[in-house]
Structure 1
């Protein structure tokens, strides 16, 4: 989860509370893929995707509430929504979901070729490994809140680096979004 907000800063329900963990529901679904019907895994993606969309809408509303010249308002809102949506889609759904999926698939395959364990034991071991990998992969993928004070190489994570190197270069000259 992100760093706690600075003193006096507004608490972000999508970043600073338990709600943040809804973004990781698909990782849990992927870890359990070998044990549950595919519909359960897809439901977990629905939960994570709903979280991503809700956070993007929230950041768009907050960007629209900022007092400034009206001419830049729609651009500011669009940048906030797009940046948050893309960042969250990558950091909360796509990258960790793919990673857990591949770790679990590989472990199930390796356990199937390297052991004579019963299938049920291999599946539960794969699920346990998938769940154990989740906290390990979150830190390099996820990021702290962006602010000018944090703009240094040590505060960025992989998704921030990816967006800073691509999509964020396309934004008009408005204030840096606070999506990540």
Structure 2
């Protein structure tokens, strides 16, 4: 079974449901209080596989469109670094801290039984995901524009890592 057919003007990794695989680790972190840690780590595996597949895809597109090794390398590295930060590392850490803080605060401020506190923490983590995406995406763009992306010319730069652009 091959990759799903996607019209050429749509990006499989940014314009379809496949994009949500990049959020697997945030979902895993949200459920950390309820599931074995091995499943949380597995969610990072799913998100990392998504990031890697997107980077490879952008490299292949650069190779077809541009045919130059440097541009291919720039496309792969830029996409991988952007996705690793914006889809895995920063959101995973953010949701982890939101959930840890909420579980701690619920324990200090309520008399709710532990299972109720854990499910509430999970709900808080899941509900935070839509609110952290755009600020993290924009921050990673700013970070890369002021660091890594200064190493290569404007003509070599791929489309922003932000899937909404």
Q: Shared fold (TM-score greater than 0.5)?
A: yes
SS for the counterpart of 1:11 is: coil
Structure 1 residue ranges, 4+ long, deviating more than 6 angstroms after superposition: none
* Aligned match of 2:17: 18
* Aligned match of 1:52: 51
Find the aligned partners of 1:179 and 1:51 in 2 and give their Cα distance.
17
Q: Cα distance 1:39–1:57, how it changes in 2: closer, same or farther (>3 A)?
A: same
Do residues 139 (structure 1) and 134 (structure 2) align?
yes
Matches within 5 A, 1:112-127: 112-127=107-122
Shift of 1:51: 0.1
Find the aligned partners of 2:104 and 2:129 in 1 and give their Cα distance.
19
Is 1:60–1:81's contact at 8 Å kept on the other side of the alignment?
A: yes
Q: Could you list the runs of 5+ residues in structure 2 that have no partner in the other structure?
A: 1-6
Find the aligned partners of 1:34 and 1:116 in 2 and give their Cα distance.
17
2:102 to 104, 107, 110: 107
* Aligned match of 1:178: 159
Shift of 1:164: 0.1
| Number of positions where the alignment pairs a residue of Structure 1 with one of Structure 2 | 155
Do residues 39 (structure 1) and 38 (structure 2) align?
yes
TM-score for the superposition, normalised by structure 2 = 0.90
Find the aligned partners of 2:117 and 2:154 in 1 and give their Cα distance.
53
Aligned-residue RMSD, C-alpha = 1.4
Do residues 162 (structure 1) and 162 (structure 2) align?
no
